[in-house]
Structure 1
């Protein structure tokens, strides 16, 4: 275990499969908690199971790598979109009072002998325009959540007038997650929230089973297609026949067993983040 700890401290640690001849459950549990990817007992099945375990670990590492890259792409795309919307907003909101102030300045400079009343009115108009710009900048600085609205066809801008930032523009209900991988949870949650779902994570199948029947739950996302012999294809989750939610199984490999167990929609791993929520939303939309 000390060797395992040392390995896990490396910047890019390799996968670790514990092979033990003791079959000590506490030792295995401790190794898994410290970051071991899997374990095997030294018995007659070792030579048969080792290739399967190696392939499962390899697929897991590739999946985590793909998820990390997808998350970076999503964050980058969201940042670029936010920059674009803010640029449109600044151009629209600030450009108008700024141009008005410039026009007043040009008028005053072009007529040095203007009457005091006209001079005073021009300066007052400039002050009002600058105050409007100040207020816009202040509202932008107070934003805690960015909501956008249509500006022109195909162009969106930040909505500075909204006060109900806590209310989502889309309400697609609650999506429950029960996924073992933290990276997978993070990327799926990000995608579902972006599609208008409220996302809750269930720590156990028992919690998921109890929460799935709640009013407002429209989607349940679980890890399916376990490759371990005898394992339940939906991780032990039993879908209700009269359910009102969409059951989505994320499957590494063949999804036939997950579909037979009741999954409404099977998503192969690794998936394309750009299309992940499209089919879920389509299936939930009224015909």
Structure 2
């Protein structure tokens, strides 16, 4: 359904400085599939998601959706593309206008895209489909909890029956008990409607629960890409191993053998030569400073020594 090749997004700063927020990212998403994108804050996850919808300008590379070059779309063609691909934003408080009622918020996409029919009935059906009670269409966002607001945002994204939804950390602002409810809702909707998701997040346990495949990002690059099962049971990149080692274990009596991630990532204004992770990598060698590793098709990891690393122990 979606194919991304060498996607780059750059931002110019004063003094001729350039931030390479996304730098040569490639992946694909099939119909009905969930691709999870994980990584530390500032790694380019959200920028990637917004660039796919052309909410941010693409500097280089190609984004192809159902055979169409997304960058070449203009006017009605771009509007038609955005009808098929929707987004749910991270902050359910900031992404809903306080001046519009719930009914107006959910029906707004129908108005923009000129959808005919009984909009009131359609809004009620959408609100019901995301587990919200009847009779709330006339109320305003301030009257709802964070979890309810995010459900309203999901209902709005579903209004046009999209084939792909980009979910930008959709539960990070919610209480942990509410997160599970929203994630289960998303999985149920995927089963019912066959929607594909790009799920952007930093909660590794949650991503494992919802994603079929996972892309691990570091400093604007994908450093490992594979099935969720492979990523979580046999990670081949040192960064992925460090991320997993940093995640808390449900059993406090257990200890991980692998070292958790330490230190902060380098500034995107001063990206290290060669492998970007080498300044924090426990396995770094002189080659890592000289040559930037590509994704190995066999291991799925962008690491010179992915095939030689010690056996992973969680």
Name whichever structure is richer in helix by fraction.
1
Q: TM-score, normalised by structure 1?
A: 0.27
Name whichever structure is richer in strand by fraction.
2
Q: TM-score, normalised by structure 2?
A: 0.25
**Higher relative contact order (Cα pairs below 8 Å, separated by 6+ residues):** 2
Q: From the CA coordinates, give the structure whose radius of gyration is larger.
A: 1
